[in-house]
Structure 1
Amino acid sequence: MNIMKCINCGVAMQRLQRHLISSLSAHDQIRLSRWINMDQTQLPLDTFICHPCFLLLNTETGEHERLLGHNKVCLGCGKSVSKIRHHNLSMESPLLAVLLSQNTNYVLSRNNYVCHVCWMRANRQAVHDSSRDIQELASNNNAAAHIVQVVRPPEPPPIPPVQNRPIQRENTTISLPNYKRPSITSVCCIFQQCRNRSLHLVPRFLKRILLQEHSFYIPRSCRVCETHLYNNLWHLLPQMNVTHSTFSAIHIEDIINILKSKMNILDFENISEMPNHYCHYWTGLTVPQFLILYNLLPLNIKKSKRSLAIYLIKLRTGESNRRLATLFDIPRSTLELIMKKVRLCLNEHFVPNNIGVNHITHREISERNLRVPEALLSVPGESIAEHRPAIAIFDGTYIYLQKSANYMFQKKTYSLHKYDNLVKPFLIVSCDGHIIDAVGPYAATQTDAEIMIHLFENENGPFRRLFRQNDVIVLDKGFRDAIPLLENCDYRVYKPESLDEGASQLTFSQANKSRKVTLCRWVVEIVNGRFKRDFKLFRHRYLNKASTHLMVDFRIAGALLNKFHPVLVDSPNADNIIQRALRYMDEPNHLGQFIIDYNINRRRAMFTRIDSNLPQLNNFPLFTYNDLILFALGPYQVKQARSYFGEHVRDNGMYVVEVSPELDHSQEMIIRMRESNNSRGTGESPEGDKFP
């Protein structure tokens, strides 16, 4: 059976990321030929190279010496031998010839590793070949006695020297230092470290935009996943670590053809003929969504569809008015007048129906409650529709401004917390991510508590009319000074706990209450991220000249999110998360008490590398992926595990885990915890980390 191996290090690549040799640049092919001593012959273009070796091809060290992506690899099967029984064959070993006959591209080195299975197989093959050679030698000696004359075949005529050999077009490259391209592969997304398998060809208009604005060329065979196709992150491509500046003749021709193609793609008056992904790239809406929005607005403007698209593109991209005017081939003053009319129309006819305290009722807010916040924050028995409390999450976000020559404005917009000029829009969000209202902007000098007091101090204010007694309000620690007012209004307020005076850490009860709030409050952070992700206008520094309509633009963006963005839904593990959270809410921290009882945190201990010989590992729990999500009460910590791993991984790719051999009382602790909890894996950290 033929095993797909890396032509450089010899590792088996059935389940590894790999690159076809023919997809490498000519520079990389020449360097790889030097590595494997194939300067005089052409590399086999149908072979592969593993991804680590591919990355090493582009390093400066690889210019002077051969580098291997995998060092301890079996010469026979290509598997790693770092953790299995293996042998190191010397240059004089007869088994080396047997293994080399199966791996013709292998380059000998000081360390030629082979696993024990392949070593046994090669040993048997060597014995078999030796006995066969002895039999053939004996038969040849018997036949030589009967040979009278040996007829020598005529020598073939000498091969004439090759002159004026044409240069192969595929190997001719040119270096363009001001232009870049990704690695040529069709098996993965052009964005680094993306493992999505739903791949598509990159649209031609995007290739043209990347060439014109970022000097970045995407070859024909490259693919992009569906997620990155719609996420509007194309500006990150030139910043990737693995890029190339060498181009073949085919690449140059393709670049010229892309730039020569007619760029008549901004015809929003005929938007029904436009591809969905193209409309989404520019406006953030698909074609059906764009038409729905257009039909809701009484736009009395010439070329009204194009006018609406101009304003949406401004929100989506944050490009300057001068550049947008050049893109649509209209004067800048005309473009600014068009955006002003569209902004007023959206603010009058679209925003009031999709955002604000008047667009939603108290019952509609309560119907948007998700199961986890409702179970953790509501009183049992309040699930009846008439008495169901509304759960709202309050938080502020930042939009950065230019430094102003108006000293009063500069003083109010400068934040001593962020050390920058900014204003604060304030969001009120339901449990499923629906934006109830966005108010502001507030000065950078105002705290969250002061903003909250301003919203609720008036008895006849809109928020006092919207929310009722026993409604749940979820806040952050910064709202501490506003809690007395909210409690006087008979609202139930939840926020993360603060340290007691003189305490250095939260108690287990305080920590569990804080985690209960965090399980419900993360929704508002998701909504804040959507504003900066989908509307780059708020990600950039806002011009002071345009700050007069900053909040109008922000509310329009919030209305668009409410209208067209899908809401959050309950997790499939919601019931299990609720059960686990309520079960351990008032449970003492046994591990923390155990550490205090035996003074483990006050004595020095020696640590050793963990291995399978430790008897205590027999009691270590084994978790599935679903178990980890339940243990962490959500997928966030599980998704962050890769970053945690990267923080501690060594240069050689090893991850060392050390434990203390002084585990005299571990069995006692495990028995005590199992008796009290009657479940597996409930120990937490001494700081009161009951919930992950």
Structure 2
Amino acid sequence: MSNISRKHRQSKTRIFDRQNRCINCSFLIPKKLYDKHPVEQAPMHIVTTLRAWIFPTELSPDSIICTECYKLLQKHTNAINEESNMMSEECLPILGHRSICYPCGISISRSARTYSVPHDVKERSILLESVPLHLVSRMERVCVACWMSAYREVKRQHQHDTNHSVPNVESIGDSPDAPVPPPLPPPQSEKVLQQTPKIKSSQYRRAACTSSRCIFQNCSRSERLLIPSAIKELVLYRQKFYIPNGCRVCRYHLNQGHWNELTSELVDFTGEQFDVIMTMMERAANSYLDFSNIKIMSPHLCRYFLGLNSDQFYDLLNSIPNLVDHVPNASIALSVLLVKLKTGDSNERLATLFNKPRSTIERWMGKVKSCLNDDLIKNLLPSSK
């Protein structure tokens, strides 16, 4: 058996071996090494950060973390406790192992040969079936074994489709009365490229799929940061604006969170993009935001909804101590007003977001405004003796 064949068989085994894969960077931890950390034994602040990093990949009690990723998680959470600026590049997912073949988990940093995986090849969709959702946009190269496996699968599917599309003429070929089939057309010298059909939408728009510039128009800043998956889903769900995986954003626009300013004239979508949109919409609709504990909310979501980071939010909340006497949950009540001011959502939409009756939402906003007014006046006026 050739080396490629042996590697191919090993790769197919590794693809389904999730028990020894790091949930964050997808590195396949060798069984002879016990250098791993079960998620169920990790502190809560580590788990909270990890869940934000790997969203929308599901975290289970059986998940494990490699030592490199665990150290990065510890460093990141310690930095959060020491610094007030939560909106730096470090908020994006950080990987302990970077040169990984994501379908199988092996390191390709020293591989003599790897394969590039462009977005327009059929092999990519086969390979993505074995890639965690949070790493889909990062997959650029794979090992030889995984590429050959995907190549053979594409070839098999093509052969299967061809067999089903050609009528069976063998059974009538021996009959003297059988009609003579028309001659085959002469072979074409040049291959005609088939255009991918597009779907035009009257409601949804999309950004251009390019990583060469910031997604915001007329932005010339040099940074090219990944856009968090949670933000992509919210922008799609709330603003009907689709952000493809190839898009990037500068640090300024990532920190500002003005995603409602995104503009584009593109309204055409491929069938594959339409399928991705449906999946993203379903995840966004089923996502849960806990406004009672802003500390555990993703910094990007915090900025998106509230216009503040968590430290700024709690500074504001602590400046209106009178609020706790007027509403059941001061954090949620203040969040309602801030979301209203940041997004401009209607009261009906706020009621859906917070899962409360509209009358409750309106009453809470009135209480927050009143308490803000009273406490601010009390702090500004000199105390009488």
How does the TM-score come out when normalised to structure 2? 0.45
- The structure that has the greater radius of gyration is 1
Q: Which has the higher contact order (CA 8 A, sep 6+)?
A: 2
How does the TM-score come out when normalised to structure 1? 0.26
